[in-house]
Amino acid sequence: MAISQMLDQLSRHLQDLQKKLIDTHKELHEKQQGATLTPYQMLDLLQNSEKFSWMQPMTTLIVEIDTLVDDKNLDPNSQHLQQFIARTRSLVFDGVDKAFKDAFEEGSAVNAELLESHQRLSYFLESIPDTRS
């Protein structure tokens, strides 16, 4: 599999996890507030609320991967791949970002799909050969 394909797959796994996180925290927020959010209200919360600021590092990571893959003037290499793998592990698995870690743990306590998505991402990362030379 080419490096750009591996990066694209990494982005897709991150997007899947992100969607499950957003959906879960939307439900938690709605229960807490006693009101259903419209998609526009949820987008506003994601973009502007401190309560959802933990999502920003994942969003940034996905955007950076997609930008690299989609830019026809750039040629992703193994160094890019290893950097994005390291950043993904740091954010999603190592708990370096406490706010993200706490949000993930809160969400996974009520939604087993989050754990499944997390596990699929882990399996994917383990399947990528170490391309460092």
Structure confidence by residue, pLDDT tens digits, 73-86 = 778 888 999 999 99
Q: Is residue 95 in a domain?
A: yes
Share above pLDDT 70 across residues of the chain, in percent, rounded to a whole number: 98
pLDDT of residue 132: 59
pLDDT at residue 27 tops 90: yes
CA pair distance 29, 27, nearest whole angstrom: 5
pLDDT, residue 39, reads: 93
- The predicted model gives 113-123 an average pLDDT of 96
Is 60 exceeded by the pLDDT of residue 26?
Answer: yes
Owning domain of residue 119: 88-133
Determine the longest span between alpha carbons in the chain, in angstroms.
Answer: 54
Q: What's the token pair of residue 94?
A: 């190592």
Does residue 2 have a pLDDT over 90?
no
Radius of gyration of the CA atoms of the chain, in A: 16
11 located within any domain: no
pLDDT (mean) for 108-122: 96
Specify if 27 maps to a domain: no
Rounded to the nearest integer, the mean pLDDT of the chain is 93
Does some domain include residue 100? yes
Domain annotation covers residue 65:
no
Count of structural domains, the chain: 1
CA distances from 44 to 48, 51, 52 (A): 6, 11, 10
46: Cβ–Cβ under 8 A, 6 or more apart, which residues? Answer: 22, 52, 55
- Phi, psi for residue 131 in degrees, rounded to 5: -95, 5
Residue 109: the pLDDT is 95
